Amino acid sequence: MTDAVAATRRPWGRAALWLLVLGPLFFATYGYANALAAARADVPSLAFGWERAIPFWAWTIVPYWSIDLFYGISLFVCRDRRELDTQGLRLLTAQAVAVGCFLLWPLRYSFVRPHTDGVFGWLFDVLLGFDKPYNQAPSLHIVLLIVLWVRFAHHLRGGWRWLLHGWFALIGVSVLTTFQHHFVDIPTGLLAGWLCVWLWPERIRAPWREAAPARDPKRWTLAALYAAAAAVCAWAAGTLSVGAFGGWALWLWWPAASLALVALNYALLGPLGFQKRDDGRLSVAARWLLAPYLLGAWINSRLWTRRAPQPVPVIDGVWLGRIPARGQRARFAAVVDVCAELSLMDAREGDAVRPMLDLVAPTPVQLLDAADAIAARQARGEVLVCCALGYSRSAAAVAAWLLRSGRAAGVDEAVAIVRSARPTVVLRAPHLRALQALAAAPALAAAGLGTQNA
């Protein structure tokens, strides 16, 4: 057998091995958590009054059960070993996260399910043979729904993909209409599901693989501020939910989780935690998990630049500006995007994505990488160098390019050229020190100076 043929064969045997591990583990851990909760006399229930208006649809036990079929098939649709192991690890993590929550915070389903006869009744009887009303939040059904949805959507196109969306949406609804879960189990399941996908991404390195404590004090300051904001949101979610705001206040857990993840990025993960891919887009998981923060970041970028929204020419076809929205980059042959937290909506082949953290001075190595990316594209035509505002990270990158290309004899001249194009740029002492280090040691990559987590 040739190497080419071996490379195209799907890893059927490895998929079967994954299923042999995950299947028994699923039933063993799920049943164990159920048994422990059943032995307690004080398992609470969390339900809203309006949930009593949710209808019981016995037929939705069919889509509810169908997730088990999709679970097994998801391992066999993987095209190669890497995709398969990613899927297996996501499913394993889903089980660990959900069961961990069941053990720490058990909840009980409190509504009485109507009696059902026939085939649907039989399906309910089989289900109740091992599924007791204690494993609630997060709904493992919803956690797995996200993991499986992402996998199958990756392989389907056109009408088949729309059929998948419709059926999986029905599975999501079925956790309520089969009287298996209360509403709170759904958003918590969505959060846990996207966390599993975020932890084991595709098309980008896993965020934890290069985790290291930040060495820049400014990053720790920002991490502390975001963590404090997350704590305030969490406190408000718990406090206001028992007051006039009722259950609506529980949605504050979403920005709490989002801000906590941003704090983690500043403290440990660096730009990689935002999962910005080479196509300019944040991963789907990052967009869902960070949605409240991303909305605030986008609004902030538009408010700060509302009086000067257009990019400005610097020199020799290199422009400086904020990250363009959809349809705003048509005039540029290429874009060098140094923003970590916002997606480049109209990215094209040949664009360069060099993500840097906001409000933190780039390292000399990051500036060297961005400068070389600008130089490689400047000969093709006009190039836009952008970040969220076009005031700091992108300005430092353009200054670095001016130094590397010899268009500026020193840091002061490079900064002066950038300021003459955009007087509002913000290049403080840490930015200047990074530029000076770049000017003093052009071969920083070989010297090993500066890191992503500096």
Q: How confident is the chain (454 residues) per 10-residue block, as mean pLDDT? A: 53 94 90 83 83 93 94 94 95 94 87 88 83 82 96 93 95 94 92 96 85 94 97 88 66 95 97 94 96 96 92 95 87 95 92 96 94 93 95 96 93 96 94 92 49 46
CA 94 – CA 140 distance, rounded (Å): 7
Report, as residue numbers or ranges, the catalytic residues. Answer: 387
pTM of the model: 0.89
pLDDT at 246: 60
- Contacts of residue 279, defined as CB under 8 A and 6 or more positions apart, other chains included, come to 347, 353
Using an 8 Å Cβ cutoff, are 172 and 66 in contact?
A: no
pLDDT at 176: 94
Using an 8 Å Cβ cutoff, are 106 and 134 in contact?
A: yes
pLDDT at 243: 55
pLDDT at 98: 92
In 3D space, the residue among 259, 156, 264 whose CA is nearest the CA of residue 220 turns out to be 264
CA 248 – CA 283 distance, rounded (Å): 28
* Ordered structural domains, the chain, with CATH: 3-199 (no CATH), 217-298 (no CATH), 310-447 (3.90.190.10)
